[in-house]
Structures are given as C-alpha cells and as structure tokens.
A and B are shown apart, each in its own frame.
Chain A
C-alpha cells in the first residue's frame, strides 16, 4: 500500500518557465513533508520541507505548498533552470523520524 504517491513519472519544461511537481499521501498522521533532489550516481540531497501546521514554505526559487484537506503537496520551481534536471522525491515523516518516499518524478528542463 503506497502511502505517498507521485503519479507523474516524468515532467518536461522549458527553461525559465515554472515546474510543478505533485505528491499525494494517504496517512493523516504525517507531520512533516520533505522534497529531495537526486542526480544520477549521487545520493538524494535535501531541498525544502514543510511542517503540517503550515500551508506554504519558500526558499529562493523553490516553494512547497501543502493542502491537508486534499492530502496533497506540490513543489514549484520558478524560474526553472537546466541544472534543475534531476529526479525529485517527496517524502512524508512520522513522529518516529521514519520517512516514507514517493516513487520519484524525473524533471527535464530544456534550454
């Protein structure tokens, strides 16, 4: 049973445009959500997070939105750059510190 789902395996956008990556979850007990970025042959690196008590968090070009009623979060990248091309994983945390990951979305930003 997949508790965290990223339904789009891939996304392609033009440089300078907005990239929107989506993630859905089923467990209302999740209290913290994170986005990781992964390049080939490297480990995932932390990008941005949001607590369940907030609905938005911004860090430079990256903004994460949380809609608790819909059990949905999204990552917005504006403007997108070719260096943003990577696999993006959303993850949800239980109070134990354990993370549940989605399947990942491969973002390609075309110059």
Chain B
C-alpha cells in the first residue's frame, strides 16, 4: 500500500514566520504535488515536481516555494506566512507516465495567527 506521510497534522504559526511543511512517500514515485483545500474552492495545486530537483508552478504558487532534494521527500515552504495562507495542505504522489491515481497524505491543518 502507498504511504504518503505529512509531518504534522496541525500547526499554528505567526504572521511573518517561515514555515516548512514536509511530505514523505514510500513508493518510489517520481511525481509529487502540494495542494491546498479551502471550503467551496476544492483542491488547488500550489507546486508539483516531476522528479528530484525538478519543480513546476501550479495554479497558486504565490507566497510559496518547494524543495525536492531526495525522491521520497517534497517540502513546501511559506517564505513569510500570512493569515490568508491559513488552510488545509495536502501532499500527493504518483508514478510517472501512468494513469495510476495520485495518493494523498492526511493533510496538515495550518493556522497563521
């Protein structure tokens, strides 16, 4: 079974802090994704990575950056947290070049005060 693990279930940070969200997958998947989920907006793609050291902007990359130094780990960074980044953050992974579905972690509920 694919396991996608997000380091924190709940996180509270202050405005202006630099925030790191970590995601690890154990299935040797090439593709990894970061989304945020907000009521009425569904899941919106922030960044994705096709493979190690590769990254692509998604639909809402502003205020975020990512890092993929190892295949199994994909980190989302909030450079200077703001209250409008309070949200549920979801990480997913997928095998490259396949129609296999993306597998999700359980999410990190991030609150910025």
Contacting B42 at CB < 8 Å: which of A32, A43, A98, A104? Answer: A104
With a 10 A CB-CB cut-off, give which of A34, A42, A44, A98 has the most chain B CB atoms: A44
With known contacts A97-B94, A98-B48, A44–B99 Cβ distance under 8 A: no
Knowing A98-B45, A98-B48, say if A103 contacts B107 (CB, 8 Å): no
Known A41-B106, A97-B94, A97-B96; judge A46-B44 contact (CB<8 A): no
Q: Which residues of A contact B103 (CB under 8 A)?
A: 46
In the complex, what residues of A have CB within 8 A of residue B90's CB? 43-44
Q: Which residues of B contact A6 (CB under 8 A)?
A: 42
Most chain A CB inside 10 Å of its own CB: which residue of B31, B43, B107: B43
Give Cα distance in the complex from A68 to B67, angstroms.
38
A8 interface residue (CB < 8 Å to B): no
Number of interface residues of A (CB under 8 A): 25
* Bound complex: CA A44 to CA B4 (Å): 12
Q: B40 touching A103 by the CB < 8 A rule?
A: yes
Interchain nearest-CB distance for A35 vs B (Å): 10
Which B residues, 84 to 112, have Cβ-Cβ distances below 8 Å to chain A?
A: 90, 92, 94, 96-97, 99, 101-107, 109
16 A–B pairs (Cβ distance < 8 Å), ordered by A: A36-B104, A41-B106, A41-B109, A43-B92, A43-B104, A44-B43, A44-B90, A46-B102, A46-B103, A49-B101, A98-B45, A98-B58, A99-B45, A101-B44, A103-B40, A104-B42
